[in-house]
């Protein structure tokens, strides 16, 4: 059995520096997603800290970063709003009741995710097809890019659509000094991250870029949007705060949920599903980047434990973050130490360094995320789009579009369903029956191709019970019965021959298939032939292989 803290660190310097870089990139993300959910920024920061420290130390993927995410924040909005409405309507109003409901919901989210890990559901991420994976990373790269655009100053102040006043729109655009100044520093950040690795790889380029840009802006006295101004514009008071505290009050507020438990449970189920899908997809991507393999089941348990901790200590919960995970990996953070440093550094920012961190220009962090977008997007998809099957190309584009339009959980589920339907249809048309006659007049059907729910109709169409001779043999040496529908099809077909008074033999069936047929009808003992070269496989493929 592997130790709990396996792969803690192989290169402490790289892990520490990359962890600090990630911590800086976590701040605006956590704050922005807290605003999306309609809660205090500190709740988002506490959530990022608790998600980060638990999953870094106990998760299934060293080097992967977890925190407060937009995908989960969007799901929380309705429940928080409903809770606040209920709290305001009480005889004795309760302020921010929606936030308290969120903490209660996170306890259920964690329980669901831990259950998924215990029952080893995490490994089913391996069933996600490659076109879905490519569509996922492309869509997520677009989402990250679009989310950064909101951090730029307003390009123009006019409320008139630009197509009604094109000249005025361009005039105001080119005279907007704040926009162009921020764009210049975003470009400088990206340039440093691009060229620095060509000179040295001893320090994370993202961290150097943030420090250089921050130094120029601070010491140059330039008027540029900072982390602090971003928080204040969103209605927050700042980064400074204390340690997370135990939320005793949530257990005394359970009676406020009378009549609303359905909302809590349904929201918890969606949050758990979204969190696991995003985390497991990110785990799969980081596996590919590092050419190592993580444990999906262990990650499920860690994500669930972290969300329960969030509910008990006042964080907004979350899941794995693909952008920050890529920053960490590309900055050299491969061990658990990197994620732990990022989480602890984030807490230290809140406790001790809030005034300093609030001076970091947003432009530097936007530049870092733009480089993440460039590194995340699967540019090879443009090259292969006309070389792969049409169905795969459609799935890739559809998943990308749905990720941007809805969210990644819906996109991945839709992509898997589309891919499964395409696979089932292709295999349904593959089944064949070669017909031969033995010297004694027995007609032999040699079946080729899989027999499962999708191919049953084609399978049945191969036989003509009425005109077939009195002796028939169906040989499965080149076929495989894949599910219960296939078993039922065999049972029904054999009964038709027996009811017609004809002799039928089924050869080269697996032991499991024989057992199920005999259980359905004992007289099949005279129908099934057993031979030493009968195949050995289960009716349903065993997916529960050992996990590394």
Q: Which pLDDT tens digit goes with each residue over 463-512?
A: 999 999 999 999 988 888 888 888 888 889 988 998 899 999 999 887 87
Least confident span in 142-146, 151-155, 244-248, 392-396: 151-155
pLDDT at 139 over 50: yes
- For the record, the structure tokens of 539 come out as 């009716």
Closest CA to 52 of 38, 69, 36: 69
* % of residues, the chain, pLDDT over 90: 46
How sure is the predictor about 166, in pLDDT bands with cuts at 50, 70 and 90? low
Q: Give pLDDT, residue 170.
A: 56
CA distance 316 to 44: 5
Mean pLDDT value across residues 391-405:
90
pLDDT at 188 over 90: yes
Least confident span in 68-77, 160-169, 379-388, 417-426: 160-169
Strand residues in 68-154 grouped as ranges (E)? none
| Sheet (strand 443-451) strand order | 432-437, 443-451, 471-481, 503-507
Q: Give pLDDT, residue 79.
A: 94
Mean pLDDT value across residues 69-88:
89
- For the record, the structure tokens of 176 come out as 């907007």
Q: Give pLDDT, residue 77.
A: 87
Of 3.40.109.10, 3.20.20.140, 3.30.750.24, 1.10.150.120, which CATH number belongs to 429-526? Answer: 3.30.750.24
CA distance 241 to 445: 76
Residue 88: Cβ within 10 Å count:
12
Q: Give pLDDT, residue 64.
A: 95
Q: Give pLDDT, residue 20.
A: 94
pLDDT at 169 over 60: no
Q: Give pLDDT, residue 306.
A: 97
Q: Which pLDDT tens digit goes with each residue over 361-380?
A: 999 988 988 988 898 888 88
Q: Is 527 helix (H, G, I), strand (E, B) or coil?
A: coil
Mean pLDDT value across residues 196-223:
90
How sure is the predictor about 521, in pLDDT bands with cuts at 50, 70 and 90? confident
Q: Give pLDDT, residue 541.
A: 39
How sure is the predictor about 124, in pLDDT bands with cuts at 50, 70 and 90? confident
Mean pLDDT value across residues 219-246:
86
Domain extent listing, the chain: 12-151+177-381, 387-427, 429-526
How sure is the predictor about 1, in pLDDT bands with cuts at 50, 70 and 90? very low
- Phi and psi at 538, nearest 5°, equal -85, 155
CA distance 131 to 305: 31
Q: Give pLDDT, residue 409.
A: 74
- For the record, the structure tokens of 458 come out as 């084609």
Bigger pLDDT: 308 vs 517: 308
Note whether 189 and 326 are within 8 A (CB).
no
Q: Give pLDDT, residue 318.
A: 94
- Write down the mean pLDDT value for the chain: 86
Least confident span in 135-144, 262-271, 430-439: 135-144
- For 334-366, b/e burial (b = at least 16 CB within 10 A) is bbbbbbbbbbbbbbebbeeebeebbebbbbbbb
Q: Which pLDDT tens digit goes with each residue over 442-467?
A: 999 999 988 888 899 999 999 999 99
- For the record, the structure tokens of 154 come out as 């307003």
State the residue for tokens 């028939």: 472
State the residue for tokens 């369903």: 417
Mean pLDDT value across residues 108-124:
91
Bigger pLDDT: 417 vs 532: 417
pLDDT at 40 over 70: yes
Note whether 450 and 430 are within 8 A (CB).
yes
Least confident span in 79-83, 169-173, 415-419: 169-173
Q: Which pLDDT tens digit goes with each residue over 284-329?
A: 889 988 888 889 999 999 999 999 999 999 999 999 998 899 999 9
Q: Give pLDDT, residue 57.
A: 95
């Amino acid at each position: 059995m592997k130790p709990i803290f396996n792969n803690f660190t192989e290169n402490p310097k790289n892990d520490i520096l990359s962890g600090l870089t990630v911590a800086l990139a976590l701040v605006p993300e956590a704050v922005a997603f807290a605003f999306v959910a309609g809660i205090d920024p500190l709740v988002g920061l506490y959530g990022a800290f608790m998600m980060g420290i638990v999953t870094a130390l106990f998760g299934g993927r060293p080097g992967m970063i977890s925190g407060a995410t937009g995908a989960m924040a969007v799901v929380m909005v309705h429940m928080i709003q409903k809770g606040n409405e209920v709290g305001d309507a009480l005889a004795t109003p309760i302020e921010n009741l929606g936030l308290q409901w969120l903490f209660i919901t996170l306890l259920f989210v964690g329980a669901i995710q831990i259950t998924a890990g215990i029952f080893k559901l995490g490994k089913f991420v391996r069933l996600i097809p490659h076109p879905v994976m490519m569509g996922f990373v492309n869509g997520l790269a677009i989402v990250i890019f679009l989310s950064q655009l909101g951090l730029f100053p307003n390009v123009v102040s006019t409320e008139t659509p630009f197509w009604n006043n094109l000249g005025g729109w361009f005039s105001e655009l080119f005279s907007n000094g704040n926009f162009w100044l921020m764009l210049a520093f975003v470009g400088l950040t990206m340039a440093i991250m691009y060229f620095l690795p060509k000179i040295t790889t001893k320090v994370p380029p993202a961290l150097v870029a943030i420090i250089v840009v921050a130094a120029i802006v601070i010491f140059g006295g330039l008027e540029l949007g900072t982390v602090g101004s971003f928080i204040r514009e969103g209605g927050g008071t700042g980064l400074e705060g204390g340690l997370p505290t135990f939320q005793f009050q949530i257990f005394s507020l359970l009676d406020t949920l009378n009549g609303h438990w359905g909302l809590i449970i349904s929201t918890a189920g969606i949050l758990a599903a979204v969190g696991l899908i995003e985390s497991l997809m990110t785990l799969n991507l980081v596996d590919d980047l590092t050419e190592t393999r993580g444990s999906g089941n262990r990650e499920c348990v860690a994500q669930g434990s972290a969300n329960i901790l969030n509910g008990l200590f006042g964080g907004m919960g979350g899941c794995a973050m693909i952008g920050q995970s890529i920053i960490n990996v590309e900055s050299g953070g491969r061990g658990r130490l990197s994620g732990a440093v990022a989480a602890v550094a984030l807490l230290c920012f809140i406790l001790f360094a809030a005034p300093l961190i609030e001076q970091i220009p947003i432009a530097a962090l936007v530049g870092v995320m733009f480089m993440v977008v460039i590194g995340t997007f699967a540019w090879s998809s443009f090259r292969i789009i006309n070389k792969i099957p049409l169905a795969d190309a459609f799935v890739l584009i559809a998943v990308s579009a749905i990720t941007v339009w809805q969210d990644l959980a819906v996109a991945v589920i839709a992509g898997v369903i589309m891919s499964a339907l395409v696979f089932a249809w292709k295999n349904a048309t593959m089944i064949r029956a070669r017909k031969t006659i033995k010297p004694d007049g027995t007609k032999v059907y040699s079946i080729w191709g899989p027999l499962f729910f999708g191919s049953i109709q084609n399978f049945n169409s191969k036989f003509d019970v009425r005109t077939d001779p009195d002796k028939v043999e169906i040989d499965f040496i080149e076929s495989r019965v894949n599910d219960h529908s296939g078993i039922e099809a065999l049972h029904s077909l054999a009964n038709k021959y027996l009811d017609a008074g004809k002799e039928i033999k089924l050869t080269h069936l697996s032991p499991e298939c024989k057992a199920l047929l005999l259980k359905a009808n004992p007289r099949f003992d005279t129908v099934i032939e057993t031979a030493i070269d009968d195949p050995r496989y289960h009716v349903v493929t065993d997916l529960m292989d050992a996990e590394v």
